[in-house]
């Protein structure tokens, strides 16, 4: 028998934090802020695998959160690299 797990408050909170960080990453152009957001993206990605027990679960919140986590990480890191162009002195 397959037991359907309901969304918990932690999972919904993590999804909200991910959305907030994604919006901040899209709007900011300061490399320091993007570096912090990149670090937090790694932390929230780790949290995803703690709060969502399996990736085989095809509920909307699970799939949406994982997709947004990966998108957040890519946007934050790539935008940080592009904005903090290292110059050779």
Burial bucket for residue 6 (CB in 10 Å: 0-12, 13-18, 19+): exposed
> For residue 68, how many other CB atoms are within 10 A of its CB?
19
Question: Tell me, what's the pLDDT at 1?
Answer: 42
CB atoms within 10 A of CB 25: 24
- pLDDT tens for the chain, 89 residues long, are 444 466 788 889 999 999 999 999 999 999 999 999 999 999 999 998 888 877 777 788 888 999 999 999 999 999 998 888 765 55
Looking at residue 28, what is its pLDDT?
A: 94
Among candidate residues 25, 31, 27, the one with its CA nearest the CA of residue 87 = 31
Any idea how long the chain is? 89
Predicted pLDDT of residue 69: 94
> In the prediction, which pLDDT does 3 show?
44
């Amino acid at each position: 028998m397959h037991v359907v797990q309901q969304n918990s408050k932690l999972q919904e909170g993590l999804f909200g934090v991910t959305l907030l960080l994604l919006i901040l990453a899209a709007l900011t152009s300061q490399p320091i802020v993007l570096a912090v957001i990149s670090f937090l993206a790694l932390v929230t990605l780790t949290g995803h695998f703690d709060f969502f027990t399996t990736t085989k679960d095809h509920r909307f919140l699970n799939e949406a959160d994982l997709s947004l986590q990966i998108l957040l990480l890519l946007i934050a890191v790539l935008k940080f690299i592009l904005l903090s162009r290292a110059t050779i002195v």
